[in-house]
Chains A and B, each alone.
Chain A
Amino acid sequence: MNTATQTDTVTLTIDGKTVTVPKGTMVVDAAKTVDIEIPVFCYHEKLGPFGCCRMCLIEVEKMPKMITACTLAAGEGMVVKTTTEKVEKAQKGVLEFTLLNHPLDCPVCDKGGECPLQDNTFKFGPPDTRMEYNRFNREKATPLSPVITIDRERCIACQRCTRYSDIIEKDQALVMRNRGFQNRVSTFKDQPYDTRFSGNVIDICPVGALTNTDFRFTARTWDLTNTNTLCGHCACNCNMTLGTRLNEMKRVTTRPNDLVDDGWICDKARWGYDFTKSKNRITQPRKQGQSVGIQEACTEVAASLQKIVEAHGPSSVGFIGSGYGLNEDLYSYQKLFRTNLGTNNIDHKTYTDTPGLPVAHFDLLDVETSDLVVLIASDPTEELPILDLRLKKAMTRKGVQMIVLNDQQTLMDKYASLSLRYNVGSDGVLLAGLNTALQGQSAESDLESTTGVSSNQLQAVAEKIKSAGKVCVIYNPVALTGSSIHTLKQCLATAGGLAETTVGAMPAAPVTNSVGAMDMGVLPDVYPGGLALTDGDAIKAKWGDTAPLEKGLSALEMIEKAKSGELKALIVYRSNPVVDFPSGHEVGEALKKLDLLVVHDMMETETAKLAQIVLPSNGPGFDEGTTTNIGGRVQLRTKGLTTDNPADWKIVSMIAKELGQETAPKDVHAVTAEIAEKVTGYQEIKRSAIRKQGKNREAVASANGASASDGTHTGSGLILRVADVLFSHDKILDAESNLAHQFQPSTVHLHTSDAEQFGVKEGDEVRVTGNGHEVKAEVRISNRCNPGGLVLPKVSDEQGVMSLAEAGKAVSWVTIRK
């Protein structure tokens, strides 16, 4: 071990201090570890050495000339000096040059107060300039995109933004045009720079050249109250800083956590927080449309629930939650329904999934250290953008290989060493075939006709998995049909049993806390921590003798029972079944038949309109608690804004109190502590342990179901594949959102052969019909999926694509009409 340490690290002296750092560390980073500041502009640790700004010149003994600390890897025995007269003169000289044409408009510049150029000039710069000529004037404040403003006069051509576009985003959208002093950051033909990750250039810009258009001139940076919190959009749970002033959201910036986001956030995180001040928020509890006090509303909910349970039994009430809730909120709700109302009618999703994994739960960092990533049915670019960046980094800079198995084309195909496209709806057969191949047997002969993937190709996938040392499987359970998730987990179990390969997996459902919702037991058949109903003794020990042991209704079954009149009361929490459930257009009618519908949500939704009682949910920005990301990392989401409404878990505890619960948690941390005590896997989750970088929860029990034989599907027309879109026009990103320019028109993606069969051309306006519903869309002949299927991106709530899907069916058949 000792020898390994000696070869992996180097020891050098910087300004008399001895530093030991890993081999390959740049001197500028080595200096940081002992609190010596070497000023930089162009260098950024995530972008690597570049050396164009010359700000970090240092002297090294035995080197004839000064050298840039950002391009010099620390060497054994190096003696570095950063404060000599020569270095100081160089720093002054470089800054004088940098400032030659830089306008001194700091008093009106948004970067003022947090500007590296300003700071470095104060610390290292000359007090004056010798420049006698007029400054070179360039365009002030022009839009680089609808959300980013570029001030080319302030630009010092450090190229951080263009290198970010090239190295991190991988699309080279932003480049340096022209040369010399006419150097100019721009896009091709000055088109808007509107990628999914464009906002990060604002944070890395060391001057005020790139600024947030929405934040411009709204507050000085030193007047902001900055709260370290988490993003509440996708399931990556990136760390971010919420800047607020006078209890209003002003801006969102990155808060680097290498274990989660690698220092970046997507544009939805940066500009997708307008909902905190939207007029569509539910701000007050109401009963039959009239505002009421929160206590009155809770009393009413509890009394009604109690009356219904007494009259029709516990199975007549139900709870539909969602992965948008915090662990504390979801935990409280399942506890309310299980221990206070005595029912397992609890669910949070419409697809099949089970908690836990038969193999290790890999964290995001494992993506980089694996030899092979197997990406199944997932489109990280649209679903989990920061995973997209992590995968690109692993593929292009860490030498990781990737296999993509998907029924639709994604931007990830470009980075994969093998990309297989199976027929829409054939994932069950494909995964069963993969399982057979992993077991070393040959697949069934009709595999290719059903899935569009040959057994040889699957054999190649199996061989790659077997020959790799460490394999990370990333799968999206939402995009798997029927009960193929069980087949997938059997595959994982088989792969996990391979002698020479370490296999881990990451369930990549896109919703914020989908892993947490599974862990918290918001499921009809599993208690928190993956505790199966069959384990009656363990359940009784933890949840008391009255804890229900019979399987409850799933979300879709609850809707069905509401329609038939067997379910009398439903609490819908942070979910909008009328739009987001399959056969959504029929959900409304079913919900109207309920004696009691309570909607507990953040925004006004179609479902909330039908509710007798509406309760306000505070949501990201206002709420506090923990979420579990796709890597199983539990992190603390803190609040940057305050409201008079009680927290969601508090509302639940008020209802529970009315139902006779004697003890109530004092604050949210008491709920977190209760989770640590009650939920397997969360034993170590304490506020102090997760405050900085979060902490991986231990494995929860893996409760797998048996896969039904999803053979071939019969029907006429094409099989529907609904694709997620990052900037979807929904309740969170409404028409007034900063990101409204990113909304897409409704399109339907067809294969050439199917387009011919239906006689449609590129750009045709068509109606996609099925399940007694139709969706208008424009035809794109993109071959995005195999013949026999069509891809319909879910671009808005209004579009209503989920109504095309038939509730309870593995696949849905649709047809095209002109």
Chain B
Amino acid sequence: MFAFNDTSETRIKKIMAKYPEDRKVSALLPLLTLAQAQEGYVTPEAMVEIGQRLDVSPAYVESVCTFYTMYYTKPVGKYVVKFCINISCHLNGCDNLMEYAEKKLGIKEGETTPDKKFTLLKEECLAACTEAPVMQVNNKYHVNMTPEKIDQVLGSYK
């Protein structure tokens, strides 16, 4: 079962007040964000709950949720490490960096370490071509990455 906690409920009231009744589906993204903040990822139960509140089908919620890579539909680790794989980063060797990170963490792309600390993902574009290759850990950007820098950055996350 999924239920929004009290803090979320207070936020939801404020969010819903922003939109007219017949456009309440506009609150979908903020509600997904809240659900993810609460559970760590968006559970199917949360999708059903959000769908009911906004008068859309759970399938629709799922379609929106899976469109955005920052919403997770599976449990993730404490730190989510993302490598940009789009063209600038690709030309600057992101593939090697990804491989290095995989070896270092002992997991494949899309997986989470057994201690639930790191999840490794690829990202289509992180919008920082000038400083490629780019790596993102949770909400922080790390630019001009090298294997040494990966050691240093990942080491700083305890």
Identify the A interface with B (CB < 8 A). Answer: 166, 171-180, 186-189
25 A–B contacts, CB within 8 A, in A order: A166-B60, A171-B57, A172-B56, A172-B59, A172-B60, A173-B57, A173-B59, A174-B59, A175-B59, A175-B60, A175-B63, A176-B63, A177-B62, A177-B66, A178-B66, A179-B67, A180-B124, A186-B59, A187-B59, A188-B44, A188-B47, A188-B58, A188-B62, A189-B58, A189-B62
* B59 contacts across to A, CB distance below 8 A: 172-175, 186-188
A162 nearest CB neighbor, chain B only = B63
Main secondary structure of the interface of B (DSSP, over half): helix
Q: Nearest Cβ distance between residue A519 and chain B, in whole angstroms?
A: 42
Once the chains are docked, how many angstroms separate the CA of A10 from the CA of B30? 44
- Do B47 and A179 touch across chains, with their CB atoms under 8 A apart? no
Task: Mark each residue of chain B from 20 to 56: 1 if its CB lies under 8 Å from any CB of chain A, else 0.
Answer: 0000000000000000000000001001000000001
Query: Chain B contacts of A187 at CB under 8 A?
Result: 59
Q: Which residues of A contact B58 (CB under 8 A)?
A: 188-189
Q: Which 3 A-B pairs have the closest CB atoms?
A: A175-B63, A172-B57, A188-B59
B→A interface (CB under 8 Å): 44, 47, 56-60, 62-63, 66-67, 124
- Considering only CB atoms, which chain A residue lies closest to B69 in the complex? A179
| Bound-state Cα–Cα, A177 to B57, Å | 13
Instruction: Find out whether the CB atom of B57 lies under 8 angstroms from the CB atom of A188.
Output: yes
What residues of A have a CB within 8 angstroms of the CB of B60 in the complex? 166, 172, 175
For B55, the closest partner residue in chain A by CB is A414
Provide the bound-state CA to CA distance between A174 and B63, in Å: 9
> Which residues does chain B contribute within 8 Å of A189, judged by CB atoms?
44, 58, 62
Query: Which of the listed residues B44, B60, B63, B124 has the most CB atoms from chain A within 10 Å of its own CB?
Result: B63
> In the assembled complex, which residues on chain A have CB atoms less than 8 Å from the CB atom of B62?
175, 177, 188-189
Q: How far is the CA of A180 from the CA of B67 in the complex (A)?
A: 9
Question: In the complex, which of the residues B59, B63, B66 has the most CB atoms of chain A within 10 Å of its own CB atom?
Answer: B59
- In the complex, residue of chain A having the shortest beta-carbon distance to the beta carbon of B48: A188
Given A172-B57, A173-B59, A189-B58, 14 more pairs with CB closer than 8 A? A166-B60, A171-B57, A172-B56, A172-B59, A175-B60, A176-B63, A177-B62, A177-B66, A178-B67, A186-B59, A187-B59, A188-B47, A188-B58, A188-B59
Give Cα A171 to B62, complex, Å.
Answer: 14
Within the assembled complex, what's the spacing in Å between the Cα atoms of A419 and B58?
26
> Contact partner of B66 among A166, A172, A173, A179, CB < 8 A?
A179
In angstroms, Cα B62 to Cα A166, docked, is 14
Shortest A662–chain B CB gap in Å is 64
The complex places the Cα of A189 from the Cα of B56 at a distance, in Å, of: 15
**Chain B's nearest CB lies how many Å from the CB of A396?**
12
Q: Give the distance in Å from the alpha carbon of A187 to the alpha carbon of B47 in the complex.
A: 13
Could you say which residues of chain B place their CB within 8 Å of the CB of A177?
62-63, 66
- A179 / chain B contacts, CB cutoff of 8 Å: 66-67
Measured in the bound complex, the distance between the Cα atoms of B154 and A271 in whole Å is 58
Chain B residue at minimum C-beta to C-beta distance from A179: B67
A residues in contact with B56, CB < 8 Å: 172
Residue of B nearest to A171 (CB): B57
- CB nearest neighbor in B for A414: B55
Chain B nearest CB from A695 CB (Å) reads 40
Give A185's nearest chain B residue, CB to CB. Answer: B63
How far apart are B22's CB and chain A's nearest CB, in angstroms?
12
Q: Which residue of B lies closest to A184 (CB)?
A: B66
A192 to chain B minimum Cβ distance, whole angstroms, is 12
How far is it, in angstroms, between the C-alpha of A189 and the C-alpha of B58 when the chains are bound? 9
Identify the closest chain B residue to A182 (Cβ). Answer: B66
Q: CA–CA, A175 to B58, complex, Å?
A: 10
Cβ distance A21 to chain B, nearest Cβ, rounded Å: 32
A705 to B117 CA separation, bound complex (whole angstroms) = 80
Interface centre among A179, A188, A189 (most CB of B within 10 A): A188
CA gap between A544 and B59 in the complex, in Å: 65
Instruction: Report the Cα distance A539→B44, complex, angstroms.
Output: 68
Q: Report the minimum CB–CB distance from A118 to chain B (whole Å).
A: 29
A176 neighbours in B (Cβ, 8 Å): 63
Chain B residue at minimal CB-CB distance from A166: B60
A521, B131: Cα distance in complex, Å: 85
A173: chain B residues within 8 A (beta carbon): 57, 59
CB distance from A397 to the nearest CB of B (A): 14
